[in-house]
Amino acid sequence: MFRLNVPNDVPNVQWVREHKDGLALIQRGPAGGAPIRLTIHRPGAESNAIIERSMLLGSWGKTPTRLYGWF
C-alpha cells in the first residue's frame, strides 16, 4: 500500500477527512497533462458503482485499515 498526500483544495477532501468515509479514484491522466488524475467521491451511487466494478473483477479487498480495489 502507498500513502497519498492529497492537497486541501481537492473537491470533497474536507468532507472525507471530517467523516472518515468516501472513495478516492486514481486514473491515468490526460495525454500531455499530469500522469494521474485523482477524484474523491462521497458515499452514494457513483462510489457504489466503482466498488461494484472492482468486486465483479475480483479486485476488491482490504488491509487491516482500508478497503481497496482496482479495474
How confident is the model at residue 67, as a pLDDT? 84
The pTM (predicted TM-score) of the whole model is 0.78
How confident is the model at residue 47, as a pLDDT? 93
Q: For the chain, give every domain's residue range.
A: 13-68
How confident is the model at residue 68, as a pLDDT? 85
pLDDT, mean of each 10-residue run, the chain (71 residues): 82 94 90 92 94 91 85 71
Distance from CA of residue 63 to its chain's centroid? 15
- DSSP E strands in 1-71: the ranges are 23-28, 36-41, 61-62, 67-68
How confident is the model at residue 21, as a pLDDT? 92
How confident is the model at residue 43, as a pLDDT? 95
Distance from CA of residue 61 to its chain's centroid? 14
